[in-house]
Structure 1
Amino acid sequence: MHIRHLPYPDPGTPDVRSGHHFLLWLGRQQLGGQAKSLAWGTLHLLSVAALPLAVGLAVQAVVDRSGERLALAGALMALLGAGATVGDTMLHRTAITNWVTAAARVQQLLARRTASLGATLTQRVAAGEVVAVSTGDIEKVGWCVESASRFSAALLVSLSVCAGLIAYEPELGGLVAAGLLVLTLVILPMLPRATRRADLQREKAGRATELAADTVAGLRVLRGIGGEQLFLERYRKASQEVRGSAVRTARMWALIEAVQVALPGLLLIAVIWQGTRMTTDGRLAVGELVTVYGAVTFLLFPLRMFQEFAMAYSFSRPSATRAARVLALHHATEARTAAAPGTAAALRPEGDLYDPASGVLAAAGQLTAVVCGDADAAGVLADRLGGHALAPSPDGEEVLLGGVALDDAPLDVARTAVLVQDKDPVLLSGTLEELMDVPSSGEVAVRDALEAAQCGDVLAALAQGSPGTDADPLRVRITERGRSLSGGQRQRLALARSLVTDPAVLVLDEPTSAVDSHTESRIATALHRIRAGRTTVVLTSSPLVLDCADQVLLVQDGRVTASGPHRKLLHTDADYRAVVTRQTDEELTERTGSA
């Protein structure tokens, strides 16, 4: 896989049992790239490792005054130098390719999972964690995948050099092998502690990132209640915990690095001391001593790669665990992507929308209002009617549209047929014209939708606040998430966007909760007019909206308990009256009696 071929046609199905399994799965997906890096890394390191042999031959040739052997040694050094250069260049190229392609694979997987989960993602995992996974964590995972091949090449060449030293000079080779064994036994027990500290650091950093993201998202509210200082202190405390954890992690790695410098240095001194004795005794030639010395010096280089891989794995494992946790999330209707052929055609958007679990029946072409009395329950019901439920119904009953289960329809077909606007809609940054440029039937013009949503004053305010747009409000830029707008303004623009889409079934969860009663009344009337002949479900307890509905349903404890026109239910159903008017029977009797 080359960078120019990205994105992947299919990034695959990841193993999300744990961070460790996820990293192994990523490595298996890039066996070709890993093999290339291993081959080029082996060429590079073998060329560097063999240079001491060429130098030793050259020194011995000088001692023996042999010009022919000196020329051969020079040619060998040139050849090894070319091999080291080519190997290093290609190793860097293939290793970076592995890094980028691994990161791209994870990014694609996260993007697909995010798109599949939709609005339910942030209900199951903090937005800050999603940001952390899709930014810094991806880089850490790519680093681990990239360093794996170089670690493998270093390990392979190091074992080859040790075996070659033992065969070349058994006494010194045995001393070097014993020294490396001691170094391994000293460092290996330190790695788990360093890994745990790195895990803790990443965990604390993730919490700090989540806190920062959540604080920024709620900054407007915090300023309104004067809570900026409180959250500033919380973030300062979390930041200091990250700093302290990072210092402890750095100390551990510094200790490991110090051991990697001290023990090989002592080994090198021992080799020189023993080699000098053997040379003075005539048991070892000068050139052979130079060769052994150069080989031991070379072994310090792979040790750096071992440390880098250990660090990469330590820092990437928590990142991989977080990524696996997000990728492991599944939609309640995940199986719909593999629906049987013909299901899409069988889905009839013009039919009734029926939820057997609650008994909610929205007649085709009518405006149906649903009263829950519980905002959370209303949100859950809205998600279920749109096929966005976090979990399937306990009894397995599925929402039906035109007699066909939404869960059996492909995801894109189901979402085209039913559109859900929740109580906290998101406005993406861009111009108002771009905001309204959404997939639609073309039957509802943008101007008509804005008028129906009573956005006249919003457009006037936007045009007045942006003089460089030639008084055209559609050219005004909307800030991120519409933070420059009030709650009512954002709500009305989101409603206009939903009306432009003109879906077969539109589900609105408290679409007028942030507007005044006069505007709410006009929106209710216009909504009934512009959605004439289309199925609309409004979850609300506003009498102004309920009075404009063709049918009103009262849902209590997850089931429909009453249905009928708004005015009739007011007079005949005490539970409905209590929810809509916020009055008990006693209060209503007292009010009637006093009147």
Structure 2
Amino acid sequence: MRQFPDPDPGQPDLRSPGSYLTRLAGANRVIVALGVVYSTVSVVANALIPAAIGRAVDDGLTERDQRALLLWGGAVLALGILQAVTGILHDRCALTASLGGSFRTLQFVTDHATRLGASLPRRVSAGEVMSVGVADVGQIGNALAFVSRAVGAVAAVVVVAAIMLVTSWQLGLVVLVGVPVMVVATTLTLRPLHRRQVGLRAVQSELTSSAVDIVGGLRVLRGIGGEQMFADGYRSESQRARRAAVRVARVEAVLDGAKVLLPGLLVTAVVWQGARYVLDGRLTPGQLVAFYGYATFLSIPLRRLTNAAGAVMKGVVAARRVTTLLSLQPHDTGGASPTGDSGAPPTAAGAGFHDPVSGLRIEPGRLTAVVCAFSDDAGPLADRIGRYADSDVTFGDVPLRQLDIDDVRRRILVVDNAAHLFSGSLRVELDPAGRAARVPDVVHRAVGTASAHDVLAGLPAGLDTVVADAGRELSGGQGQRLRLARALTVDPEVLVLVEPTSAVDAHTESRIAAGLAAARDRRTTVVFSTSPILLDCAEHVVFVEAGKAVAEGTHAELLADDRYRAVVAREEDPA
């Protein structure tokens, strides 16, 4: 039994949707090739059954030869068994190819999403990623599954055509002309179908994105009374999706009708002409029965060809969306350290930050608080320090953009309130690097620093509780404290926190502030906050106004600055 996913999915071909699908088929070439063989044998065996039945009629029934009747009856049975066995094997191969293509695409999307990191939500919506990872990967796998069926269908048409031309070239010609006419007639609907499918996928993606946004912000919507407005908007978008789906269904209905009507017309023509040939003595009754069987049988490969064309077309639409996503590049692709692997700056205790744009300086080895007069300035500053945005920030004496991006991610951790708890065991979620195996009680100490022991006590299984739905069953304050505990468990050289206590009460915040100062003693820690409780525990405070660092000192010293005091006073007295 083949295991999924593959340990090494390789590299996708992003030149075009077609080249992506071709490379994907090449990666599954063994199972696709087996599927082609089984499909061809199965369909050809099925195609030969009418010939065997015709011979049974002529040699067995007409000639009253019981031995010939048993012989050709046995041939029909053998062909049926062969068709059934190879058909089962083909279905198995088709399913394996489908799963292989789907899982490999899902691996590409997941791996690329992790490489994009913080650039991902800035480049594409969560709903779009979900749509690609759920719907499009299935369409791509379905396209691979139909490849072998299409090849088998072509082989069956060739075999049947050859038999009919040898038996009666006039009837064979009717079938050979009729089949391409049917294919052309059905493919005329594929272009509008493709166009409408592209439109439908775009609308569905927008609808999914809207649903994700509404679910993610439901608590906020309820707080501001915006549920009805967003519900009305979602209803309007869903109606757009419904109308787009109806337009696709209309074309698909025409296509499905053509799949039934056109083969029926061909069968009628063959039977009518064949009956005249039997009356003229140019065909035997058995040959007429065989020709009827051929004409009826040809509807099967025709249906397979049209289904394959539709599946491949949907696969191309899906592959275009996948390649578009996989072609996205992070805003900062990073570089190597100018002095090689060992040329990174010294540990955080010996290296600080300097942002030339704002003038912000972060001294190494201490807890620094940054107070922004305008809250919108905190995110961009944190992004520059964490190198989630390209900038001239230096770490020590080295421009941050010149350091290896993986080294930056290992050493500098930025945590804001857009972070999520992932589904799974809370124990694993709070210790993603597995430090508990090397440092006993590291998780419990981090939970204590984040003042989150009461959160664990309220969970049914404590640390072994399985967090579901990205932790949305937790309150805002609980989730915020657990995210802080996760960051403290990782214990990076540089920890950057953006409003880490905005959702907790003053007593809890006081405990967190004191614990954070102790836990991060002599470790570079940057806290963006306007909370006096946190500011009072900071060793150094920088005041930023209009994107520029305009004052610095201790919290007590900066209270003499009217601008700083006004910002902090808003925090102390929201009214």
CA deviation profile, 1:445-493 (whole Å, cap 9, x unmatched): 444434433x2xx544764x56x66xxx656666644444443343233
Whether the 8 Å CA contact 2:33–2:148 is kept in 1: the answer is yes
- SS of 2:8's equivalent in the other structure is coil
Matches within 5 A, 1:65-464: 65=64, 69-70=68-69, 72-334=71-333, 343=341, 346=344, 348-350=346-348, 351-355=350-354, 358=357, 360-389=360-389, 392-393=390-391, 397=392, 399-400=394-395, 403=398, 405=400, 408-409=403-404, 411=406, 413-429=407-423, 433-439=427-433, 440=435, 442=439, 445-453=442-450, 455=451, 459-460=453-454, 463=457
Distance 1:294 1:399 in 2: 79
User: Match for residue 9 of structure 1?
Assistant: 7
| 1:369 Cα deviation after fit | 2.7
Compute the displacement of 1:31 (Å).
Answer: 2.2
Q: Work out the CA distance in 2 between the residues paired with 1:83 and 1:462.
A: 61
Residue 492 of structure 1: which of 481, 497, 502 is its match?
481
Change over 3 Å in CA distance of 1:558–1:327 after alignment to 2: farther
Residues 12 and 23 in structure 2, CA contact (< 8 A), matched pair in contact too: yes
> Counterpart in 2 of 1:27?
25
Distance 2:297 2:455 in 1: 71
Q: 1:29 and 1:558 mapped to 2: Cα distance?
A: 51
CA 1:483–1:56: 2 relative to 1, 3 Å: closer
Cα offset, 1:153, TM superposition:
1.8
Report the Cα distance in structure 2 between the residues aligned to 1:70 and 1:362, rounded to whole angstroms: 95
Asked if 1:513 corresponds to 2:533, the answer is no
**Residues 333 and 407, structure 1, Cα contact 8 Å, conserved in 2:** no
**Residues in 2 aligned to 1:255 and 1:131: alpha-carbon distance in whole angstroms:** 31
What runs of 5+ residues in structure 2 fail to find an aligned partner?
A: none
Please say if residues 183 and 302 of structure 2, whose CA atoms lie closer than 8 Å, have aligned partners that are also in contact. no
Which amino acid counterpart does residue 322 of structure 1 have in structure 2? R
Q: For 2:298, what is the secondary structure of its paired residue?
A: helix
Q: Would the alpha carbon gap of residues 204 and 37 (structure 1) be closer, same or farther in structure 2, given more than 3 Å must change?
A: same
What's the offset of the Cα at 1:543? 4.5
Describe the superposition over 1:204-237 as per-residue Cα deviations: whole angstroms up to 9, x where unpaired: 3332222222222122122223333333333333
Indicate how the Cα distance of structure 1 residues 480 and 54 shifts in structure 2: closer, same or farther if over 3 A, else same. Answer: closer
Give yes or no for contact 2:47–2:159 (8 Å, CA) kept in 1.
no
Q: Which residue is 1:58 aligned to? A: 56
**Mapped pair 1:540 → 2:535:** no
> How high is the sequence identity, in percent, across the aligned residues?
39
Letter in 1 for 2:311: A
Question: Is residue 393–residue 399 contact of structure 2 (8 Å, CA) maintained in 1?
Answer: no
Q: Which amino acid aligns with 1:32?
A: V
Equivalent-residue separation in structure 2 for 1:293 and 1:155 (angstroms): 19
- Letter paired with 1:225: I
Q: Which amino acid aligns with 1:536?
A: T
Deviation at 1:66, TM superposition (A): 5.0
CA contact (8 A) 1:51 1:77 kept: yes
SS in 1 for 2:500: coil
Deviations 1:139-187 (A, max 9, x none): 2221111112211221232234224423432111111122223222322
Contact 1:346/1:404 (<8 A) preserved: no
* Aligned 8 A contact 1:384 1:399 in 2: no
Counterpart in the other structure of 1:42: 40
Q: For the structure 1 residues 517 and 186, does the alpha-carbon distance in structure 2 shift closer, same or farther, using more than 3 Å as the test?
A: same
- Structure 2 residue aligned with 1:587: none
Letter in 2 for 1:237: S
User: Is the CA contact (8 Å cut-off) linking 1:428 and 1:482 kept in structure 2?
Assistant: yes
How much does 1:49 deviate? 1.0
Alpha-carbon distance change, 23 to 372 in structure 1, aligned in 2, over 3 angstroms: farther
SS of the counterpart of 1:426? coil
Amino acid across the alignment from 1:194: L
Distance 1:223 1:331 in 2: 34
CA contact (8 A) 1:51 1:80 kept: yes
Shift of 1:92: 0.9
Residue by residue over 1:509-545, the C-alpha shift from the partner in whole angstroms, topping out at 9 and shown as x without a partner, is: 1223334456545533432222111111222344443
Q: Deviations over 1:315-370 (max 9, x none)?
A: 3344333333332222244456x989962684633341435554544332122233
Superposed displacement of residue 558, structure 1: 5.6
Deviation (angstroms), 1:42 = 0.7
Cα 1:90–1:442 change in 2 (3 A) is same
Q: Distance in 2 between matches of 1:161 and 1:482?
A: 60
Counterpart of 1:3 in 2: which secondary structure?
A: coil
Q: Give, in whole Å, the separation in 1 of the partners of 2:245 and 2:376.
A: 40
The TM-score with structure 1 as length reference comes to 0.84
* Contact 1:399 1:405 (8 Å CA) reproduced: yes
Distance 1:79 1:474 in 2: 62
In 2: Cα distance, 1:186 partner to 1:301 partner: 16
Residue 99 of structure 1: how far off its partner (Å): 0.8
3-state SS of the aligned residue for 1:387? Answer: coil
**Root mean square deviation of aligned Cα:** 3.3
> How many residues are paired up?
565
- What code does the residue aligned with 1:11 have? P
Change (3 A) 1:318 1:500: same
Amino acid at match of 1:423: N
1:483–1:77 Cα change, 3 Å: closer
Counterpart of 1:506 in 2: which secondary structure? strand
User: Do the aligned partners of 1:399 and 1:407 also contact (CA within 8 Å) in 2?
Assistant: no
